[in-house]
Each structure stands twice: as structure tokens, then as C-alpha cells.
Structure 1
């Protein structure tokens, strides 16, 4: 199996915890719903931090000028995600969702990723942001 295919399969599989915790937060047993929201937020923070890690690794692999800035940007997702977990769920969802949008926008301007990666990142970002919006809408009801 090609690296591209594996990346797509793993990326799409990464949406499953978002879908499961979203479903449990709205339609699971009442005693599970608060835990499902916390699990959604925690998973979101982990995945957002992972996106920063991709840039950390890419910057270390490339001996080009300007990588210092990329290393600094690579730290932002973790610095956004961690405090978002300490806030009320509504604010955490908004901040994490915006973090995904920010990293997607930053990725669009980066060179060096395979061409197919842009489509993968876009599909995954849309899925993640829609999940955040759905949970936000649910919590606001």
C-alpha cells in the first residue's frame, strides 16, 4: 500500500474519535454526555498539537533559511490547545476550532508537502471544524 493511501486511511480514521464523542455527547446515555464533551475537547487538543508537530519535524528536516519561524509556528498549536482545555467547554471548542482553521491556512502557504497532502488536510480540516460546530450548536441548545 502506498504512503499516500496509508496517510488517507489514517487521516480519515482520525475523524472517528471526533464522530464518536460528538455522537455520545448528544445521543449517548445522559451520564456519559459530559465525559464525551471532555473527551472531544481532549482529543481535539491532541490532534491540534499533532499538526504543530508535523511542522516541527518538517522544519528540522530542511536546512533552509527561515526555518526558525516555522519552528515557532509549530509550537502555537500546543500553546493554543492546552489553555483551551482549561476553559469552559464552549470557549474551548471555539478556540480549538479556530486553531484548526489557523493551521490549515498556514499549511496552504507552505511548500514542500506532497501535492495530495493539500486535499487530505482540507478534507480533514473541514471534518474537524464541522464536528466542532456541531458540538458547539448542541451545547448552545
Structure 2
């Protein structure tokens, strides 16, 4: 099977929603950097948003498992199982001290992108999907890395 089927560029709405979803990451990272007096507010908000987004990207694999008829049972079951891991990682990250939580969220986002790459070897994905996911993942991870500088 191919990694991706030839298709049009990223739909405008998808691009707006994807890049718009980075606004809370960038705003909270900038706020925690520029407003150290309120870092105790900004960092938990950044971590919470990271956990929510990690859960969201996990749900994509659940949707792929449900909707791709070319998947056999074993790969489909693996997708269902993996799809809940990001939510569990996000939940655990919220119970940790901020730096450890940020590290777990970064690791979770990177691991999920790796799973996206593996998925692309099994099913056809739109050509824009992996490049978009990479850009969104990199920015989210960089914003979460700000926690290492700002959190006490």
C-alpha cells in the first residue's frame, strides 16, 4: 500500500483549524515567558492544552481504524489500542510536576507523530496530512519546551 494517495493541497479549513489550534500553545508559552509573575497560571494552562491536543491526535487513529476498510483485524486492533494511549499520557502529565509533565507531553506528541508515519505505510493518507502534522507537532513541542525555562 502507498504512504499517501495523490490529492489536492491541504483544505483551507483544515489549515485554518490546524494552525489556529497552535494559538493557545504560542500564547501560553509566550505569556509564561514574558509574564513570570503569573507563570503559575500560564504553565498549567499550557500543560492542560497540551494534554487535550494529545488526546485529540490519539482520537485520529480511532477514526482511521473505524473508517479504513483496507485494514485487517490485527492492524485495526492496534490502532484502537494506540488511540487511547495519548489520552492516558496526557492525563498522567497533568498529575506530574510541570517539567516532568511537559517532557511527557513532548514525548507523547513525538511518539504519536511516529505512529502517524507508521500508519502511512499501512493506509493511504492525504498528501498534506503528514507535513501538516509535523509542523503542528514541532510548534507544540517547542511551546511545551518553554516550561523548562519558565517553571520553577
> Could you state the TM-score of these two structures normalised by the residue count of structure 1?
0.91
Aligned positions, number? 138
Picking from 83, 88, 111, the partner of 1:79 is: 88
| Structure 2 match to 1:135 | 147
Structure-to-structure mapping, 1:1-141, within 5 angstroms: 4-28=11-35, 30=37, 32-63=38-69, 64-65=71-72, 66-110=75-119, 111-139=123-151
**Higher relative contact order (CA closer than 8 Å, sequence separation 6+):** 2
RMSD, matched Cα = 1.6
- Which string of whole-angstrom CA distances, capped at 9 and with x for unpartnered residues, describes residues 63-122 of structure 1? 321201100000110011101100100100000000000001110121332011111001
Runs of 4+ that moved beyond 6 A: none
Give 1:62 deviation, angstroms: 2.0
- For normalisation by structure 2, the TM-score amounts to 0.85
SS at 2:89 equivalent: helix
Contact 2:39 2:150 in 1 (8 A): no
Higher helix share: 1
Q: Any stretches of 5+ residues in structure 2 without a counterpart?
A: 1-8
Gapped regions of structure 1 (runs ≥ 5): none
